[in-house]
Amino acid sequence: MATGRTHRPATRSRGIPEATVARLPLYLRALTGLSERSVPTVSSEELAAAAGVNSAKLRKDFSYLGSYGTRGVGYDVEYLVYQISRELGLTQDWPVVIVGIGNLGAALANYGGFASRGFRVAALIDADPAMAGRPVAGIPVRHSDQLEEIVRDNGVSIGVIATPAGAAQQVCDRLVAAGITSILNFAPTVLTVPDGVDVRKVDLSIELQILAFHEQRKAGEDVPDVPPPPPTTVAQDGAAPADDEAPAPAQAPAADDGQAPAARRDRKGPDDELPAVMPA
């Protein structure tokens, strides 16, 4: 058994590193914007700036796709949209179920960005009998008693969990037993899943806490170059800090992806993976 992270090797079987995979949606979003404005070609520098990454890293990423651009012309926008979409598996339809249709689940159901990216909401599921049959975003909510049947009948492989944290593991177990192999978890809890099941988690409060950390620094605290040793207080989660959890240095060495060091640190989640944050 493994816990709530993306259970993939660092390098996928087709030789594309996981970090590159995590940047492909950023390129795709920037390229889609260019495509909508009928821009035919784009240089690596322009595209890198639009995607918020370093241009050398972008060229390296695209080399994994076999896309090298044309000197003096750049990359063909439409072809790159196709190539990245294909690589991400977006050229096929992905039926998705959302479990937990409260405030968040209903907002997700109403989010138009799923369908436009090929993620069709096949069903909305909730445990509250009073919600059964009630339409949300035009889709009638189904009772969770039918979860297994819904997953099977719709050939669903991606489940979104938007239940309270206390229900999330049980919902996850049922989704996995029903055949789901990818889970997007919004509940603030770490899920345990068998090998072969991918879990991505979204936690906006963690992002806000990281922003609060930087706001505090911007507020003019005089942070020394070499911070003092951590005080012997108890960490927020109640656990004493581990020996290897040294505080981030005030001046981190230059990032190899060309981003500001703080920005690069911030993109790591608490379990050292890139947090999955919904595209705006």
Residue list, annotated binding site for NAD(+): 100-105
Q: What is the nearest approach in angstroms of ligand NAD to the Cβ of residue 280?
A: 14
By C-alpha distance, which of 190, 277, 270, 267 is closest to 236?
270
Q: Tell me if 186 contacts ligand NAD by CB under 6 A.
A: yes
Residue 202 lies near ligand NAD (rule: CB under 6 A): yes
Is there binding between residue 180 and ligand NAD (CB under 6 A)?
Answer: no
Cα separations in angstroms, 69 against 8, 62, 66, 77, 183: 29, 9, 9, 10, 35
Q: Which stretch binds ligand NAD (CB under 6 A): 44-52, 99-107, 210-218, 246-254?
A: 99-107
Contact 20, 61 (CB under 8 A): yes
CA 18 to chain centroid? 12
Give the binding range for ligand NAD (CB under 6 A) out of 47-55, 116-124, 126-134, 267-275. Answer: 126-134
Asked if 34 and 44 count as a contact pair (C-beta separation under 8 A), the reply is no
Helix (H) or strand (E) holding 49: helix 44-51
Q: Shortest distance, CB of residue 90 to ligand NAD, whole angstroms?
A: 23
- Binding residue count for ligand NAD, defined by CB under 6 A: 25
- Going by C-alpha positions, the residue among 91, 42, 49 that lies closest to residue 69 is 42
* Binding region for ligand NAD (CB under 6 A) out of 88-96, 157-165, 216-224, 253-261: 157-165
Quick check: 204 binds ligand NAD (CB under 6 A)?
yes
Nearest Cα to 157, choosing from 108, 119, 109?
119
**Helices within 197-258 (DSSP H only):** 204-218
Q: Which stretch binds ligand NAD (CB under 6 A): 72-80, 86-94, 163-171, 265-273?
A: 163-171
3-state secondary structure of 159: strand
Residues 232-261 that bind ligand NAD (CB under 6 A): none
Residue closer to ligand NAD by CB (options 61, 126) is: 126
Q: Is 162 in the site for ligand NAD (CB under 6 A)?
A: yes
Q: What are the residues binding ligand NAD (CB under 6 A)?
A: 99-105, 125-128, 144, 162-165, 167, 170-171, 186-188, 202-204
